[in-house]
Structure 1
């Protein structure tokens, strides 16, 4: 069910209208200017560097060039991780979210399509223009990870064949999508203006409460995605773990991706100024949120490295399990305690299904 948070207006009705409007504008604008736009600009820059590095690899294959591409892939994934949980605005249009990263691929459909393209040397997959019209599973970071880190990827260091051409097309495609998203966030009259300027004529946000709902809702839903999906490879026992179901397991970036997502939500929280909205007597809520985000960062540090190796180490596996506890605690702090203090009530998540 694609519903974020249902709002209760009781607290807002007790607030002077001018104060409510000023606070809503300040908070949403601060979130956009202080975090969202800079984060998407960073993703655009990193994806452009990645596309350039892949182009150089194809022009002059070598082990050093392949290592350089893999480093740029890691930097691009890191930049994406800090914004990928923000399911709002331009990234949700034109299938951009799925085109950048098709995941989870529960039935392995995407993997089979990428493998088929490599095996058959599909000519439409090496042209960014035609690749953009193909399955979303074939044109994003998940596909590129397989090309760069999957079986036979080491051949990229020796020859500029079909595999490299496909990698170049994917990288250019991702860079183009990143550029389009960043441009949309900057466009006058675009989503950013609509979100920060609610009103009766606004097709997205009719009042300030709906704008705030979007901000709180995206944080809560992001936390739920980490708990339910990103950490979904963890079993009840070590014997039930499924490391190959983890996102970015081939490149060893699983834990970095999780840590980046949580760090992004933390920075969004701080940039928005939400903590300043709380009265002095309720400042403990913001401090508790900061404490739990810090706990999450420490746990991710302890578990860092390839996920299959982390799961074999009891101490590192415990750190991953602790991340589940922390994300559930953060969901409660945001969706229950903070939401209630701001006059919100937690509703259904889009992860709940119908």
Structure 2
């Protein structure tokens, strides 16, 4: 983990005998940066590089699936920030191009493969290809979809997967730099209210941004990860479930809820037991569905259970309003999904 001297000093100040009480807003920011954000960014970068290294050694789909799952699991703890006011180094959509409402991914991959486009052999050029051919969801097709995943070692598809994994690792590095570079998000959060900070004029604004990260992620899970496969009562849409080809739909929802629970518990001045309890209840119910790809979202009984899970997530949002919002005197702001 990085040597976050400034943040660690703020954390330690809470336990030192000082004549002036520590600022609870600055303490909250420091806890999140040190305890949650730093290890989350490190894990995403490490797993993305491990995936790229594995693809360099053996690019075939069966050999890469484990490393792919590790990388996706790590991304789920980073993703909440891309859903609020933090742009993941400008790469959020390329890393996680979902929902793919127009079905752009298969044609983009097929076009590259049919033409054997040499763009895959130059990392700088590959970074400019369509986002539909990059990131975790394009890789999901290459590794799990029978129409793409049968390629042998040494084939063009093998080179494409190697380019995709190397590109993902490079984007993970960019995300890390966007957070921990000299003028990155971490520094902006830590120095909120200080002269020369162009992003946050007060510590309260920094805390509000972090609280918005919690609420935006909860809404994404409730309204999109669950809402899309549920569709409407008359027209359920199980094939719209996230990452259904790799049977990660439930795994993604659980991983994201666990991450946002940890984030809320870290941000809240006295922890967030009610928020975490509501999310734990939701996770238990997701597990009980025994439906990893939400393939049975069109079953009436399953739909009712998914609606209960949505209610648990709503309960977590209400609890976080008390444990974070009211406790720190902040309200959730706008997020990347507003207006969609």
TM-score class normalised by the smaller sequence? 0.7 to 0.9
- Tell me how far apart the structure 2 counterparts of residues 91 and 98 of structure 1 sit (CA, whole Å): 12
Structure 1 residue 171 corresponds to structure 2 residue 165: yes
Partner of 1:11: none
- Tell me how far apart the structure 1 counterparts of residues 172 and 334 of structure 2 sit (CA, whole Å): 30
1:191-340 matched pairs, under 5 angstroms: 191-199=185-193, 200-231=195-226, 232-237=228-233, 240-272=235-267, 274-276=268-270, 286-311=272-297, 317-335=303-321, 338-340=324-326
Give the CA deviation at 1:220: 0.6
Paired residues, number: 319
Give the CA deviation at 1:119: 2.6
Gaps of 5+ in 1: 1-17, 278-285
More off after superposition, 292-301 vs 205-214: 292-301
- Tell me how far apart the structure 2 counterparts of residues 296 and 276 of structure 1 sit (CA, whole Å): 22
Relative to 1, partners in 2 of residues 1:89 and 1:41: Cα closer, same or farther, differing over 3 Å?
A: farther
1:135 pairs with one of 130, 135, 139:
130
Higher relative contact order, chain-length normalized (CA < 8 Å, sep 6+): 1
- Tell me how far apart the structure 1 counterparts of residues 37 and 301 of structure 2 sit (CA, whole Å): 35
Q: Deviations over 1:56-99 (max 9, x none)?
A: 224xx5xxxx3231111111111111221222799615531112
More off after superposition, 72-81 vs 184-193: 184-193
Relative to 1, partners in 2 of residues 1:189 and 1:353: Cα closer, same or farther, differing over 3 Å?
A: closer
Q: Are the aligned partners of 1:35 and 1:268 in contact in 2 as well (CA < 8 Å)? A: yes
Q: Are the aligned partners of 1:126 and 1:168 in contact in 2 as well (CA < 8 Å)? A: no
SS in 1 for 2:81: coil
- Tell me how far apart the structure 2 counterparts of residues 118 and 303 of structure 1 sit (CA, whole Å): 38
Partner of 1:6: none
Give the CA deviation at 1:314: 6.5
2:108 pairs with one of 106, 110, 113:
113
- Tell me how far apart the structure 2 counterparts of residues 169 and 319 of structure 1 sit (CA, whole Å): 41
Structure 1 residue 37 corresponds to structure 2 residue 31: no
- Tell me how far apart the structure 1 counterparts of residues 107 and 148 of structure 2 sit (CA, whole Å): 16
Give the CA deviation at 1:228: 1.5
More off after superposition, 256-265 vs 303-312: 303-312
Partner of 2:49: 48
Give the CA deviation at 1:110: 3.5
State the TM-score, normalizing by the size of structure 2: 0.84
- Tell me how far apart the structure 1 counterparts of residues 101 and 190 of structure 2 sit (CA, whole Å): 37
- Tell me how far apart the structure 2 counterparts of residues 317 and 126 of structure 1 sit (CA, whole Å): 46
Q: Deviations over 1:124-169 (max 9, x none)?
A: 144322110122222111111111112333423x442111111110
Relative to 1, partners in 2 of residues 1:337 and 1:38: Cα closer, same or farther, differing over 3 Å?
A: closer
Relative to 1, partners in 2 of residues 1:39 and 1:348: Cα closer, same or farther, differing over 3 Å?
A: closer
SS in 1 for 2:242: coil
- Tell me how far apart the structure 2 counterparts of residues 30 and 215 of structure 1 sit (CA, whole Å): 11
State the TM-score, normalizing by the size of structure 1: 0.81
Give the CA deviation at 1:259: 0.9
More off after superposition, 310-319 vs 110-119: 310-319
Relative to 1, partners in 2 of residues 1:265 and 1:294: Cα closer, same or farther, differing over 3 Å?
A: same
Q: Are the aligned partners of 2:230 and 2:298 in contact in 1 as well (CA < 8 Å)? A: no
Relative to 1, partners in 2 of residues 1:260 and 1:93: Cα closer, same or farther, differing over 3 Å?
A: closer
Q: Are the aligned partners of 1:230 and 1:247 in contact in 2 as well (CA < 8 Å)? A: yes
Gaps of 5+ in 2: 1-19
